[in-house]
Structure 1
Amino acid sequence: MIAKIDRGRIRDRLLFEFLAATGSRVSEALGVYLEDLDLTPGNEHVQVHGKGGRIRVLLLNDQRLVNLLRRFLRETGWAHGPLFRAERNWTGRPLTYSTVQELWARYRYLAGDPELELHQLRHTHATELTLDGVSPRTIQKRLGHRKLQTTLVYADHTDAAADAELRARHRRRTNRS
């Protein structure tokens, strides 16, 4: 999907890459201000404002996202304010949720996948973390869920993930012997 976004539409590409790479809710991404970013090389983080006014800090460990973010900031020259701003008259206001939904619908159409929902980026992020062997508690923290049960709905433990975890356990036990 993201590959269908024109390279010149860097804000849109950054927005959807951000959602996919962090598992953030759309409202959390739209609430990110430049002041919430820490782009210290090798330790890049973003502070997001989640449900219930809870704040969490997310590691930006996807180098493609970090590079795109740095490029975007270089090209815009912005030093403060919302990261994802409306383009009309560049008023400096954050994008609205409805605008993001419209953008997603346009790119979904271009990709030929009219069924793909925007929230699936969050599901995909959680599933990828599960498949990579990340613990449910870490995924829970990353997604900002209060209850682990909510996370387990997103990060369904697949057979492949279970097999990988058991193989890793076996290797650790074998190496101790």
Structure 2
Amino acid sequence: MKGHIRKRGNKYAIVVDMGRDNNGKRKQKWFSGYDKKKDAERDLPIILNDINQGTFVEPANETYMSYLEKWIKNKKSQIKPTTLDTYQRLLRVHIIPGLGHLKLGKMNRLHIKEFYSYLEEEKELAPASIKKIHTVIRSSLSDALEDGLIAKNISAGIKTPRIGRSEIKVWDEVQLMNFLNAIKAETLYIAFHLPAMTGMRRSEVLGIRWKDIDFENKILRVVTTITTKGKSDGKTQNSYSRPIDLDDGTIAELKNRKKQVAKDKLKAGTAYDDQDLVVCTSLGKPISPRNLNRLWYKLRDKVDIPNIRFHDLRHTHATLMLLQGIPAKVVSERLGHASIQTTLNTYGHLLPSIQKEAIQIFSRNLIEKSNNFISIHEG
């Protein structure tokens, strides 16, 4: 039995010759969806060997969601009621919305790794929560393997964010301003200015529309998000629209961006796809999270400052606000955290130093006012 690699568009496929049918017609089995030729070349001998040994498993064509719905029903008699409740909640809230649309037999490790990154960076789930989600995914795929629906458990060996992870990395005021000043001429400068000055998530920045901005009252409302899983309307999905107050500098940058978008529209004419987006291509189309990340790394590496992730611009904003004495409750609302506890869990390590600075400021102000009062009355 022979096989070869074939390119289809910008993807690669493994093609295995399966001989001929009763009518003499040539039979072939295709394994598509490889982004890199070397990955297809790696799997080709494995697939040929499995077919020759009779151990090859035909990829399951049903969706992961369909499989999970049956899997959790069978799991009821095998686990405790409290564990079942946890599994059902994780499936409903995270796993099915994130991975359920994929074909069970076509899922790969990259799907799961990107899903965990999304949960950590966009949803801001704690490492312990992601570890629980991983447990459910690993268990379900282990059973699918045992039932002969998949050839291997792709979740095995995938690392989840470490519980008790190291302290988040942020820039100080000077480093942040050095970066922003260095990239000021960048066409998409606003995409980096906003998270630094508002604490917005990447998905929120990509989803901002001009109609979400109230220039007169200097307020931006987070309604729509764009993630690696596409666009979603936060107002309909989460009954939620978060207002963020804007400073004068950010208002000015948004007005500059609006002028640039107007020029792009005029230049593109009918080719412009107007989706009312603030952060978009020169033709008005949405920018993918991956492409924005690529631009981020390119710009960041041009400046002589410590390496941080795009998401850490949000952490930088929150950290600088807390260090300047802004109440944690205000920071929590600005970031859109579900509760102030999330804010305290994320930035709690800052509170001791903030309290030390706060008591010194309190003491200085009290003494100053007291001295002024005495001077006035003695005078």
Q: What is the TM-score with the length of structure 1 in the denominator?
A: 0.82
Deviation per CA, 1:24-75: give whole Å up to 9, x if none: 00001111100000101xx3110013776321100002x3222111112123
Which letter does structure 2 place at the counterpart of 1:46?
Answer: L
Report which of the two structures shows the higher radius of gyration computed on alpha carbons: 2
Q: 1:19 aligns with which of 195, 218, 223?
A: 195
- The 3-state SS of whatever aligns with 2:302 is helix
Name the counterpart of 1:5.
183
Tell whether 2:301 aligns with 1:106.
no
Displacement of 1:159: 4.8
Deviation per CA, 1:100-119: give whole Å up to 9, x if none: 11111111221255732111
Aligned length: 169
- Contact 2:257 2:278 survives alignment (8 Å): no
Displacement of 1:97: 0.6
- The 3-state SS of whatever aligns with 2:200 is coil
How many percent of aligned residue pairs carry the same amino acid? 25
Distance 1:154 1:4 in 2: 29
Name the counterpart of 1:59.
245
- The structure with the greater share of residues assigned to strand is 2
Name the counterpart of 2:340.
148
Distance 2:250 2:197 in 1: 7
* C-alpha RMSD over aligned residues: 2.6
Distance 1:128 1:46 in 2: 20
- Contact 1:60 1:66 survives alignment (8 Å): yes
Higher relative contact order (CA 8 A, sep 6+): 1
Which letter does structure 2 place at the counterpart of 1:60?
Answer: L
- Contact 1:127 1:154 survives alignment (8 Å): no
Which letter does structure 1 place at the counterpart of 2:344?
Answer: L
List runs of 5+ in structure 1 lacking aligned partners: none
Q: 2:220 aligns with which of 46, 52, 67?
A: 46
Of 101-110 and 166-175, more deviation after overlay is shown by: 166-175
List runs of 5+ in structure 2 lacking aligned partners: 1-178, 226-233, 266-273, 374-379
Name the counterpart of 2:96.
none
Displacement of 1:154: 3.7
Distance 1:6 1:137 in 2: 32
- The 3-state SS of whatever aligns with 2:242 is strand
- The 3-state SS of whatever aligns with 1:83 is coil
- Contact 2:275 2:285 survives alignment (8 Å): no
- Contact 1:33 1:83 survives alignment (8 Å): yes
Q: What is the TM-score with the length of structure 2 in the denominator?
A: 0.41
- Contact 1:47 1:56 survives alignment (8 Å): yes
- The 3-state SS of whatever aligns with 1:111 is coil
Displacement of 1:81: 0.5
Distance 2:192 2:347 in 1: 20
Tell whether 2:256 aligns with 1:71.
yes
Distance 2:340 2:257 in 1: 35
Distance 1:96 1:123 in 2: 22
Displacement of 1:80: 6.8
- The 3-state SS of whatever aligns with 1:3 is helix
